[in-house]
């Protein structure tokens, strides 16, 4: 096989997608962003930014430097409204490609201004997922577009490979500075140092943080430093095979669960990107076969109803979670939100379940 | 997109990703981390000194003339609207170094004064941004604070 053929094979055949699986992920991603990943902490946060004197406008080098200060609240309200409308359109699969692109761009605009107080949070995967997935034609099935008999293109799997490339590279950028910073030096236990920083300075003291602070085993902490770097750098190697990449996504879920338990940091935005690599076709088949088993209805109708059932189930979980979180139900001694704790724990349990099943 | 266009897109991404990472490193060194950029946080620091851990803490202190009334608070108490994950970066950008603080505009000072008055419950004349370096040591009884040193103090007159 020539290099070109192998390159093509990697781009176009690494991952397999189906119209139904992509539809399910589109619905999941739309609801996940809508309820948990819209940038900022609501209109109060945008109001605060809009009220800040221009002196505190400190955008990073980049396009936001063309502005002199934060925009007025009405601008934030307008972009937020556009984002919510485009998310609903993405959910319904109405002009799906455009809705996905507008969703990504609106998130980028909001993130850009939020980070212009002088600190960038690394949440670029949130806009990246809808922008890249727009080209997968994830609105092909179970969408308004498909009902309008609008000519839509077939589902494409290469966007998943492209997203895998971005995630793997970004993971590498998390691991590489640690090597330069001295994480591999046996005389430093860097993960333990970060734990102390989060525990004593940022007062993130919930879950297992207190236990971890008292756990003083040099070998354990040093091993954690090495494993962290191996895992983050290793993502690049995992790009060569879809099954390896999925394994590393599983490691990532375990990694984030452990950092949540000890450092009280959830990294929830990353889970949107990890969810892309779940085998959504299997999820669709499982829900459909259960529906057929209980209702006895088969054919096209069962597929449609399976998707409605899935959407209902997601809403049934997400809505109360969102409501509970908005009631300021946080764990004590931390800024970790209730929904972050539940969702990351659920992802961890799910990965464990798949791992045990595959064993 | 046809196959040729997709192949070109991948080649561009494979060239662009390392290139932008190099730019992030260079621009970040001389100015600040660019945005948007396809990077995750590095958490490079190891927070280690000798056989213990060294952690920096910022305290905001507001006081009236001759310190008749004063109040110490954490940056997150002074700026509760800012997410905790952004607080250290916000403080580093706007309140690190005497020059940066003295350059705060009149509008910025007035805004800080109003905020300090609302939080403290009195009208302060001065705001101090104090940097403490805390040294932790592990003992058989657990992790203990060895010592805390004031390693920086910048004052802003209202």
Give SS3 for A61.
coil
Q: In the predicted model, is pLDDT for residue B55 greater than 80?
A: yes
Question: Cβ distance A101 to A133 under 8 Å?
Answer: no
Question: What number is the average pLDDT over the span A259-282?
Answer: 96
Whether B84 sits inside 8 A of A180 (CB atoms) is no
Whether A56 sits inside 8 A of B83 (CB atoms) is no
pLDDT band at A151 (very low <50, low <70, confident <90, very high): low
Task: Please give the Cα distance from B25 to B69 (Å, whole number).
Answer: 45
Question: Cβ distance A45 to B81 under 8 Å?
Answer: yes
Output the six-digit token pair for A158.
């290469």
Output the six-digit token pair for B3.
């196959």
A64 touches chain B (CB under 8 A): yes
Q: How many domains does chain B have?
A: 2
Q: In the predicted model, is pLDDT for residue A328 greater than 80?
A: no
State the smallest CA–CA distance between residue B107 and chain A in angstroms.
Answer: 6
Question: Cβ distance A160 to A276 under 8 Å?
Answer: yes
Give SS3 for A345.
helix
A169, A183, A187, A256: which to substitute to probe chain B, counting the most B Cβ within 10 Å?
Answer: A169
Task: Please give the Cα distance from A308 to A318 (Å, whole number).
Answer: 15
Task: Please give the Cα distance from B149 to B57 (Å, whole number).
Answer: 10
Domain boundaries, chain A: 158-278+327-359
Nearest residue of chain A to residue B95 (CA atoms): A56
Give SS3 for A343.
helix
CA A32, distance to chain mean position in Å, is 9
What's A330's DSSP letter? B
By Cβ distance, the residue of A121, A166, A193 closest to B85 is A121
User: For position A183, what pLDDT does the model report?
Assistant: 94
Look up tokens 């209202």; give the residue.
B158
Tens of pLDDT, residue by residue over A285-306, are 999 999 999 888 888 888 999 9
Give SS3 for A26.
helix
Which residues does B151 contact at the CB level (< 8 Å), separation at least 6?
A: B56, B131, B132, B133
Cα–Cα–Cα angle for A52, A48, B103, rounded to 5 degrees? 20
Residues of A in contact with B90 (CB under 8 A): 117-119
- Compute how many other C-beta atoms are within 10 angstroms of the C-beta atom of residue A43: 13
Cα–Cα–Cα angle for B128, B130, B135, rounded to 5 degrees? 165
Q: Look at residues A94, A84, A166 and name the one whose alpha carbon lies nearest to residue A125.
A: A166
Question: Cβ distance A248 to A172 under 8 Å?
Answer: no
- Please state, rounded to an integer, the average pLDDT across all residues of chain A: 94
A15, A41, A46, A53: which to substitute to probe chain B, counting the most B Cβ within 10 Å?
Answer: A53
Residues of A in contact with B88 (CB under 8 A): 119
What's A151's DSSP letter? -
Task: Please give the Cα distance from B20 to B39 (Å, whole number).
Answer: 9
Give SS3 for B127.
strand
Same domain, B27 and B99: no
By Cβ distance, the residue of B14, B41, B82 closest to A122 is B41
Q: Look at residues A52, A217, A193 and name the one whose alpha carbon lies nearest to residue A118.
A: A52
State the smallest CA–CA distance between residue B73 and chain A in angstroms.
Answer: 12
Give SS3 for A146.
helix
Task: Please give the Cα distance from A1 to A57 (Å, whole number).
Answer: 54
Whether A190 sits inside 8 A of B36 (CB atoms) is no
Output the six-digit token pair for A208.
């297992």
Same domain, B4 and B81: no
Whether A118 sits inside 8 A of B89 (CB atoms) is yes
Task: Please give the Cα distance from A163 to A158 (Å, whole number).
Answer: 9
User: For position B96, what pLDDT does the model report?
Assistant: 86
Tens of pLDDT, residue by residue over A133-146, are 999 999 999 999 99
Output the six-digit token pair for B20.
């932008």
Same domain, B85 and B133: yes
Cα–Cα–Cα angle for B90, B93, B96, rounded to 5 degrees? 110
ipTM score of the complex?
0.93
Whether B35 sits inside 8 A of A216 (CB atoms) is no
Task: Please give the Cα distance from A237 to A164 (Å, whole number).
Answer: 11
Q: Look at residues B83, B68, B74, B156 and name the one whose alpha carbon lies nearest to residue B119.
A: B74
Same domain, B61 and B93: yes
Q: Can you give the C-alpha Rg of chain B in angstroms?
A: 22
Same domain, B22 and B50: no
Give SS3 for A333.
coil
Question: What number is the average pLDDT over the span A173-202?
Answer: 92
H runs (alpha helix) in B31-152: 75-78, 87-95, 98-102, 106-120
State the smallest CA–CA distance between residue B20 and chain A in angstroms.
Answer: 11
Task: Please give the Cα distance from A156 to A158 (Å, whole number).
Answer: 6
Please tell me the pTM assigned to this model. Answer: 0.94
Same domain, B133 and B96: yes
pLDDT band at A152 (very low <50, low <70, confident <90, very high): low
Question: What number is the average pLDDT over the span B63-67?
Answer: 89
pLDDT band at A150 (very low <50, low <70, confident <90, very high): low
A43 touches chain B (CB under 8 A): no
Domain range for B12 is 1-37
Question: Cβ distance A145 to A93 under 8 Å?
Answer: yes
Task: Please give the Cα distance from A265 to A271 (Å, whole number).
Answer: 13
User: For position B97, what pLDDT does the model report?
Assistant: 84
Task: Please give the Cα distance from A51 to A35 (Å, whole number).
Answer: 26
Question: What number is the average pLDDT over the span A142-166?
Answer: 90
In percent, the amount of chain A with pLDDT more than 70 equals: 99
**A24, containing H or E segment:** helix A19-32
Task: Please give the Cα distance from A75 to B5 (Å, whole number).
Answer: 36
Question: Cβ distance A232 to A175 under 8 Å?
Answer: yes
Is pLDDT larger for residue B51 or for residue A79? A79
């Amino acid at each position: 096989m020539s290099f070109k053929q192998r390159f093509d094979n990697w781009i176009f055949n690494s991952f397999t997608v189906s119209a139904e699986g992509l539809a399910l992920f589109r619905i999941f991603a739309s609801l996940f962003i809508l309820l948990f990943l819209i940038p900022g902490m609501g209109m109060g946060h945008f109001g605060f930014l809009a009220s800040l004197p221009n002196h505190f406008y400190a955008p990073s080098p980049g396009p936001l430097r063309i502005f002199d200060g934060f925009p007025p609240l009405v601008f934030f309200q307008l972009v937020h409204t556009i984002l919510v409308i485009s998310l609903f359109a993405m959910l319904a699969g109405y002009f799906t490609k455009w809705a996905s692109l507008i969703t990504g761009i609106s998130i980028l605009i909001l993130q850009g201004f939020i980070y212009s107080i002088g600190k960038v949070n690394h949440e670029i995967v949130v806009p990246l997922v809808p922008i890249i997935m727009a080209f997968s034609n994830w609105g092909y099935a179970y969408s308004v577009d498909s009902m309008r008999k609008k000519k839509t293109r077939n589902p494409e799997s290469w966007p998943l490979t492209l997203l895998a490339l971005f995630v793997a590279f970004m993971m590498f950028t998390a691991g590489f500075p640690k090597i330069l910073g001295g994480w591999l030096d046996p005389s430093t236990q860097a993960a333990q140092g970060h734990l102390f920083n989060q525990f004593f300075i940022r007062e993130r003291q919930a879950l297992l943080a207190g236990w971890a602070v008292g756990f003083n085993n040099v070998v354990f902490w040093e091993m954690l430093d090495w494993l962290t770097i191996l895992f983050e750098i290793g993502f690049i190697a995992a790009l060569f095979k879809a099954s390896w990449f999925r394994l590393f996504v599983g490691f990532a879920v375990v990694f984030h669960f452990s950092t949540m338990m000890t450092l009280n940091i959830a990294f929830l935005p990353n889970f949107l990107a990890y969810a892309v690599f779940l085998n959504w076709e299997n999820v669709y088949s499982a829900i459909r076969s259960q529906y057929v088993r209980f209702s006895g209805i088969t054919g096209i109708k069962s597929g449609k109803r399976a998707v409605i059932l899935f959407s209902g189930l997601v809403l049934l979980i997400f809505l109360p979670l969102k409501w509970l979180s908005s009631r300021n139900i946080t764990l004590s001694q931390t800024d970790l939100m209730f929904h972050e704790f539940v969702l990351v724990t659920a992802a961890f349990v799910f990965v464990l379940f798949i791992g045990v099943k595959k064993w | 997109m046809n196959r040729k266009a997709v192949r070109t897109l991948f080649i561009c991404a494979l060239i662009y990703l390392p290139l932008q990472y190099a730019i992030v490193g260079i621009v970040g060194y001389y100015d600040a981390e660019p945005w948007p950029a396809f990077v995750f946080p590095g958490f490079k620091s190891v927070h280690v000194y000798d056989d213990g851990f060294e952690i920096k803490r910022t305290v905001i202190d507001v006081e009236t003339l001759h310190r008749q009334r004063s109040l110490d608070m954490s940056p997150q108490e002074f700026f509760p609207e800012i997410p905790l994950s952004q607080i250290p970066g916000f403080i580093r950008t706007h309140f690190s170094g005497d020059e940066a603080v003295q350059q705060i505009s009149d509008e910025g000072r007035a805004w800080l004064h109003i905020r300090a008055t609302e939080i403290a419950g009195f009208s302060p004349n001065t705001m101090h941004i104090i940097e403490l370096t805390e040294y932790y040591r592990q003992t058989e009884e657990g992790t203990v604070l060895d010592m805390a040193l004031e390693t920086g103090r910048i004052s802003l007159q209202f």
